[in-house]
Amino acid sequence: MEIEFEKQFMDLQKKVTKLEKGTKDQLTMVVFSGDLDKIIAAMIISVGAAAMDTKVKLFFTFWATAALRDKKKSAQGKSFMGKMFGMMLPKGTTKLKLSNMHMMGMGSSMIKGIMKKNNVPSLEEMFKTAGELGIEINVCEMSMNLMGMKKEEFIDYPHMNICGVATFLADANESKVQLFI
């Protein structure tokens, strides 16, 4: 083969490798909202994707971090603000509220009852399945600092890491699908 062509061919191979790196079969999601319905949506999409062999990386930030709190756990040595946030924010998935302000009449418990009746797994069961399927939960360090949350008050989850926005961006950059919920 001609040398010039060989160069062109290797160049093309490099480009394709770079393209492949940027389009992994991966779903990267920012979970920002702490509303029950949005966390349910995030987990249904995540578990569905993982079941289809897509790598799933979640980035819990702001209000969503409260959904990771374990109602049976508590953290020591919190600041005054940390204690305030601790009281004001829901303690884990069972305490989340609905986003839909126009439906005041319908409580979170009603939705949970309907989900159960329709054989939709509960949020707690979905987190368990998520762990079994290898879904990564990255928790935003800045949000934890702002709200005075500590890792020791979070649920036991096999693939949980504390990290910053740079981790989310690197994950998003290499994944086919990105969502902000």
Q: Which residue matches tokens 């790196």?
A: 21
- Whether 28 contacts 165, CB under 8 Å: no
Q: Binding to a copy of itself by residue 89, rule CB under 8 A? A: yes
Q: Binding to a copy of itself by residue 3, rule CB under 8 A? A: no
CA distance 149 to 170: 24
CB-based contacts of 36, cutoff 8 Å, min separation 6: 93, 96, 97, 98, 99, 108, 111, 123
Residue (of 40, 16, 57, 171) closest to 108 by Cα position: 40
Site for a copy of itself in 6-65 (CB under 8 A): 8-9, 12-13, 15-16, 19-20, 22-23, 25, 27, 30, 32, 34, 37-38, 41, 44-45, 48-49, 52, 54, 61-63
Sites of contact with a copy of itself (CB under 8 A): 1-2, 5, 8-9, 12-13, 15-16, 19-20, 22-23, 25, 27, 30, 32, 34, 37-38, 41, 44-45, 48-49, 52, 54, 61-63, 81, 84, 88-90, 97, 100-103, 105-106, 111, 114-115, 117-118, 120, 142, 145-146, 164-166, 168-170, 172-173, 176-181
